[in-house]
Structure formats: C-alpha cells, structure tokens
Amino acid sequence: MKIAVIGCGTMGRTHGAEWIRMPGIELVGVCDMQEEAAIALAGNLETKAYFNFDQMVSEAGPDVVDVCLPTHMHKEFVLRTARHGKHIICEKPIGLSPEEADEMAVVSEQHGVRLFIGHVVRFFPSYSDIRRKAAEGVIGKPGVLHTRRMGSNPGIAKTWYANSDTSGGVILDLMIHDIDFAQSIFGKAVSVYAMNRRHESLDYALATLRFENGGIAHLEGYWGFPGPFTTSVELAGSGGVIRFNSEDAVSLKNFKANRDLSDTPDVAIPKSPFMHNPYYLELAHFVECLRTGTEPDITIADARSALKTGLAAIESAASGRPVRIQ
C-alpha cells in the first residue's frame, strides 16, 4: 500500500517515522509548502519531497494520504484528497466545526473513499487497558473519571496553535484527547461546564462533563506547564479505582473496593513489553480497516462528537455557564 504525507511538522515527522517501519507499506512522498521542511523530512525518511499537493498525488500515486496539517487546513485537504479518489487519514481534531466534519464525511462517501481520524490516545496501552478493564467490570460500574494532560505551550514555536481560530486552543487541540477517551467509556456527554484561562504563554482549561448514565468526568488541560509532558487518569467505579500517571514507574494501579487488608498489597501492574508505539498501532489499525473493510475503533461519528463536546466546553468557558449538548 502506498502512503503519502501532507504536512512535515511534528505530526508529519511522527507518522512518517512509523510508516517506513510498517511491513507492506511504501512511503511514496511527503509534501509541505515550506520547502526546507519537506526536503529535510524526505531525506530522513528516504522518500521524495514535494511542494505541491496535486503534483504529489498525481506523480506518486498514493493509495492513502495522511493529513498532518494544522487544524484549520484539515477540511481543505481532506476534500481535495477525496476528490482525487484517495483514502484519507487525518489528525485530530477532525475540523473546527461540526459542519466541517459533516462535509468531510459526505464528500469522502461520495467519492468512495475512507476517512479515518487520528485520536491516538485510544491506542496508548495504559488507556486501552483502562477501557478494557472498565468494560469487563473490574471496578464495577464506572462513575467518575479524572484526567490531566499538560505540557509546554506549542504556540511559542508555532503561532497557529496560539490562535484559537486556527487551533481551538488547549481545549480543542489537547483536551480533546481526554474528551474522546471519556466518551469512549461513558458514551456521549450531555452537558459540560468549563473554565479557561489564557495569559501570555499559558492556556489552561478545566471541564466537567456529565453523561446520560450518571457518569461524570473532570478533565484538565494545560499548555505552559514548565515540567515534562505529563498525563494522568483515575477512573472510579462502584467496585474500585484504576489509576495511571505517566510519571510513575508502573503503568496501572488497581485498587479494589472492600479489599481485605490482610491480603496481598494492591497490585502495581508493570509496563508490558511493547514493540510498537501508539502511533504505529493507530496507523496499522487504519491500514487493516482498509484491507478488510472493517469499521475503525474511532469512527467519524466519534470524532465529530468529541469536536462538538470540545466546542461546547469552549462556549461554556466563554459564558461562565453550563452548556447542554444537543
């Protein structure tokens, strides 16, 4: 299968490095209007650099175009790719509005191509383990989720991140990972109450999601954190709690409710041997869906719902009031 990448920034480099390691995949080109970025990445990945998208698609003949562009450019290049009759992998968020997401889905279907959205947190082993344990009833009925995701502010290096009209800010670009994760456990959120503080190099948000089944999720996102990139999760249920913190030496801690304290101490589950990183697993999953015709774990509807919930959080933060999600 032939793959081409449009966008040679952080995500283009990240995806490109995984494509060249994948059996049965040929990376036939990378494209960026910034010629130096395209040439540098093409040299690292031993493929051809392009500076014109239509030329790359015409000459390289990819089966799939991997869209790793800034969010405000997703719609344009997803539509252009679909009209070329090529399948599409697009980084999250799917776009900047539900209307954009709908148009991208409709045009892809009209041209008979598949559209996949890269919500990679679903493929991180600790997060997938939490989802699996929740589904298996390890902690009883899930009730309350706490997540935290924080790191340096990418807007310092790349100004499009700092512009909420092009990135959606910390909520739509960073917190959306945890919005999607929360909804993968509880279903679609029905309301959100959020706060957002933006000042110079800081963009901080706190959101509380409520779900129809009574579940609650408290999500924290922070651009401008002076320490290393850090994520954490705590999922509490009627029968116990599961915790994960990226700074810990172990991947998951599982605490059972009403445990006999004379028994063995709480088990700290070690990190399992892990051959491929989550980006590899995500991209390989999309390729397998193309080869078999199966539905992806993250559907277009999932990506659209995460976007809609993120936009509701932005609206709530601006108004200071809870927002119902229709």
* Helices (H), ranges, 168-277: 169-170, 176-186
Whole-angstrom Cα Rg for the chain: 20
122-144 per-position pLDDT tens digit: 999 999 999 999 999 999 999 99
- The CATH class of 121-276+305-324 is alpha beta
Give the homologous superfamily in CATH for domain 2-118: NAD(P)-binding Rossmann-like Domain (3.40.50.720)
Rounded CA separation 151/171 (Å): 13
Domain ranges of the chain: 2-118, 121-276+305-324
pLDDT at res. 271: 42
Given this chain, do its domains 2-118 and 121-276+305-324 carry the same CATH topology? Answer: no
What is the pLDDT, as a whole number, of residue 116? 98
pLDDT of residue 276: 72
List pLDDT tens digits, range 200-211: 899 999 999 999
Between 249 and 93, where is the model more confident? 93
Percentage of the chain modeled with pLDDT above 70 = 92
Report the pLDDT value the prediction gives residue 248, as an integer from 0 to 100. 82
For 299, counting Cβ atoms within 10 Å of its Cβ (0-12 exposed, 13-18 middle, 19+ buried), the class is middle
Q: How many CB atoms lie within 10 A of CB 289?
A: 16
**Res 252: pLDDT:** 63
Q: Is the pLDDT of residue 99 over 70?
A: yes
The answer, yes or no, to whether residue 305 has pLDDT greater than 60, is yes
Tell me the per-residue pLDDT of 234-285, one tens digit each, with 9 for 90 and over. 999 999 999 999 988 555 666 555 543 333 222 222 344 445 799 999 999 9
Query: 46 falls in which pLDDT band (50, 70, 90)?
Result: very high
What is the reported pLDDT for 263?
30
Pairing of strands 268-269, 252-256: antiparallel
